[in-house]
Chain A
Amino acid sequence: MTETTEAAPVEEKSHRDYKPILIPHPGRREPVWLEEYKSEGGYKGWEKAVKEMTPKDVVEEVKAAGLRGRGGAGFPAGLKWGFVPPIPGPKYMVCNADESEPGTFKDREIMEIEPHMLVEGVAIGSYAIGGEDAFIYIRGEYTVAADRLEQAIDEATRAGILGENVFGTGVNSRIYVFRGAGAYICGEETALLESLEGKRPMPRSRPPFPAVEGLYRRPTCVNNAETLSNVPHIIRNGQEWYNTIGVPPRNTGPKIFCVSGRVNKPGNYELPLGSLTFRELIDEYAGGVIDGRPIKGVLPAGISAPIATGAQLDAKLDYDSVAAAGTMLGSASFIVLDDTVPITWAAARMIEFFRKESCGKCTPCREGTQWLHKTLVRIQDGGGREEDLDLLLSVSSEVSGKVLCALGDFATSPVVATIRNFRDEYVDHIRSGKSFNGTWSPA
């Protein structure tokens, strides 16, 4: 294998010429261990950071790279790091690898195949905010990924790359893998911090924000696993190189698009932001819709953002274009529905998730998700009333924006957007009295 230190710059921004950097070995199931990782330029970014750059230099480089958070919110990572005050005492980098959003399986692939890439990104991020202890919070079900991350940390520590006095520079960098135990709410950053502190994981009221008072009431930065996996590449190759990928300054870099549902080739596809549309991604990469059926809609951010339909599917896949089209890129987990999928059944299935995952702290979410689910099940199973549609919208408006965390907002979007886009189908179903008995399977 030839040593690759520089990826070719993207000339015409054609997605077809792009060579993936986060998942550079598509289809592979075995991990890249230390020796192979180093042969591909691994840990050069970390070595450069600790030997040649101050923490502030690293923050500035990542700011200039325009890297935005890949977990869903799209907040600029360098800016977030810059919020951590330069005060003495412990500061913590926490990697959010709780990936639990339905339809999202990108961090799993990074961690299972490229554990060292994430570890390197966490180390650089921790150094950038002046920390010595960092955590990777991984969902409990990802046992294979967690084992591999621990093994990667052991390998790197034995090689003097992590732990005490890394590369003989006097810098300390300890990384802990912390396994969750089954709770979607732990993907919310303040609930995640509560979980790390050994408390029941319920979101905190903000302010104070974690950058000021996070883990153990100390300054803390929480970044998604895919976000941090970009960092080694930025530091190793420089922000100018990174700015050749995607559509700078606001939509820079690669993004892993998870495609699932009614397509022939579901999977992770890493491509430059803004380089293609929903439809192009589905047709050129995901093998098209099964049996060539028309697309009914695409849920763009797992089940947590409004369903995209019609002309929205011609939006370029970047944060701003998808937002301009009226929905959200979020984690870029695309669940594809074809025209055979009953929307009432799909909506009931989605809201069931939020009802069961609501942590129960805020009354509007705890009670609202329950009533939304009951009402949607009633429609799904033939007992709906036409006035239920306005009832659903009314309950949704009492949840969204009236709770401590985003889960409440997420929970209402499958309801509100499906009613907005498919009201006729809802009404037809209610009038027909047809029952799905809670289930539907593709033909």
Chain B
Amino acid sequence: MLSQETRDKILTEVRKYPQRRTALLPALKLAQVEAGWLPPDVIGEVAELVGVSHASANELATFYSMLHLDHPVDVRVEVCVQLPCALRGADRLLAQLSAGLGMASGETSPDGKLELHRTHECFGSCNRAPMCRLNDEYRENLTPEATEALIEELKSLRGNGRTGV
């Protein structure tokens, strides 16, 4: 069950647009902020708040890459390897992160705090490539030296149990 605060935020979205169904995607994102991911019961609750079928909400939850149907981790590291980044060393960046963190792309750290992802998607940082995202935060111009510093930072997040970035 979502908190009253999140339910209120969702209902504000529902009233905001010319038609209520427009609020479905913003509502799913709000629910995900609270729950960390979108388990089936949360998707259903959002559908009912917005006033659409569960199937309609599932159609969105299963489509968008920023909606997560799996368990949350504190920090999701997404490395862009699309061509503009790759031409400036994105494959090196991914290999360096992978070696430094001891995780292959697609893996979750044993403590469940960190995930490393190779993504084909371009995030619009091609002028400051290569880059990655830590949750919503952009980290750009990741030279080998800057990558080393990032690895240390990520290791310390794992060590002290900080949540979020």
User: Which A residues form the contact surface with B (CB < 8 A)?
Assistant: 90, 99-105, 107-108, 133, 139-144, 176, 178-184, 195-201, 216, 258-262, 266-268, 299, 302-303, 333, 335-337, 341, 346, 349-350, 352-353, 356-357, 359, 439-442
Task: Please name 29 pairs of A and B residues whose Cβ atoms are closer than 8 Å in the assembled complex, sorted by A.
Answer: A100-B122, A105-B124, A105-B126, A133-B18, A180-B25, A181-B65, A182-B64, A182-B65, A182-B121, A196-B22, A197-B19, A197-B22, A198-B19, A198-B60, A199-B56, A216-B19, A260-B87, A261-B126, A266-B126, A266-B129, A268-B127, A335-B87, A356-B121, A357-B121, A359-B63, A439-B95, A440-B91, A441-B86, A442-B89
User: Which B residues form the contact surface with A (CB < 8 A)?
Assistant: 16-19, 21-26, 28-29, 50, 52, 56, 59-60, 63-67, 81-84, 86-92, 95, 120-129, 133, 136, 138
Taking a contact as CB atoms closer than 8 A, the residue among B29, B83, B138 that contacts A335 in the complex is: B83
Q: How far is the CA of A340 from the CA of B63 in the complex (A)?
A: 37
B124–A200 touching, CB < 8 Å: no
Known: A103-B126, A104-B124. 10 other contacts (CB 8 A): A103-B83, A133-B18, A180-B66, A181-B64, A216-B19, A260-B84, A260-B87, A262-B87, A262-B88, A267-B127
Chain B residues whose CB sits within 8 angstroms of the CB of A179 once the complex forms: 25-26, 29
Chain B residues whose CB sits within 8 angstroms of the CB of A99 once the complex forms: 124
A176–B25 touching, CB < 8 Å: no
Chain A min CB distance to B94 (Å): 8
Chain B residues whose CB sits within 8 angstroms of the CB of A346 once the complex forms: 83
Chain A residues whose CB sits within 8 angstroms of the CB of B21 once the complex forms: 197-199
Residue from the set A180, A197, A260, A352 with the largest chain B CB neighbour count within 10 Å: A260
Chain A residues whose CB sits within 8 angstroms of the CB of B64 once the complex forms: 140, 180-183
B127–A105 touching, CB < 8 Å: yes
A181–B67 touching, CB < 8 Å: yes
Chain B residues whose CB sits within 8 angstroms of the CB of A176 once the complex forms: 16-17
B87–A183 touching, CB < 8 Å: no
Q: Which 5 A-B pairs have the closest CB atoms?
A: A182-B65, A260-B126, A181-B64, A198-B24, A198-B21
Chain B residues whose CB sits within 8 angstroms of the CB of A356 once the complex forms: 120-121
